[in-house]
């Protein structure tokens, strides 16, 4: 069955550094991947979508890469700030295209 894994449950970094989060998937070749941010007590908020024919996507301090050979997506936050502290989820569509399959998320803590 389709499986998605986010390597770290928690990542702690210092303000100003670049945070890199990893998402791996198996048994599937999704047409796209999405990244969401979730704050405690709230629903996820969409950040970025990257398609299988795109190597890289950027939005302000965020960058996402998609390597279909490695079956991996990397999510980078440059010049990280304490306000970036949250749980970040990667997701891809199920084969029927009717829903997203989510990873468990990586909780990022940025200390000042």
Q: Which is nearer to other proteins, 41 or 69 (CB)?
A: 41
DSSP-derived letter for residue 15 is: T
The SS3 assignment for 36 reads strand
Q: Which is nearer to other proteins, 35 or 77 (CB)?
A: 35
Q: Which is nearer to other proteins, 14 or 42 (CB)?
A: 42
Binding residues for other proteins, rule: CB under 8 A, are 4, 32, 34, 41-46, 49, 89, 91, 93-94, 96, 98-105
The SS3 assignment for 100 reads strand
């Amino acid at each position: 069955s389709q499986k998605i894994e986010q390597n770290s449950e928690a990542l702690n970094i210092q303000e100003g550094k670049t945070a890199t989060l990893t998402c791996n998937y198996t048994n599937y070749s999704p047409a796209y991947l999405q990244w969401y941010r979730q704050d405690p007590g709230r629903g996820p908020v969409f950040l970025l979508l990257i398609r299988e024919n795109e190597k890289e996507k950027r939005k302000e301090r965020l960058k996402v890469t998609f390597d279909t050979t490695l079956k991996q997506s990397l999510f980078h936050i440059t010049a990280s700030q304490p306000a970036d502290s949250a749980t970040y989820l990667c997701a891809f569509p199920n084969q029927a295209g009717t829903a997203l399959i989510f990873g468990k998320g990586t909780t990022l803590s940025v200390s000042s």
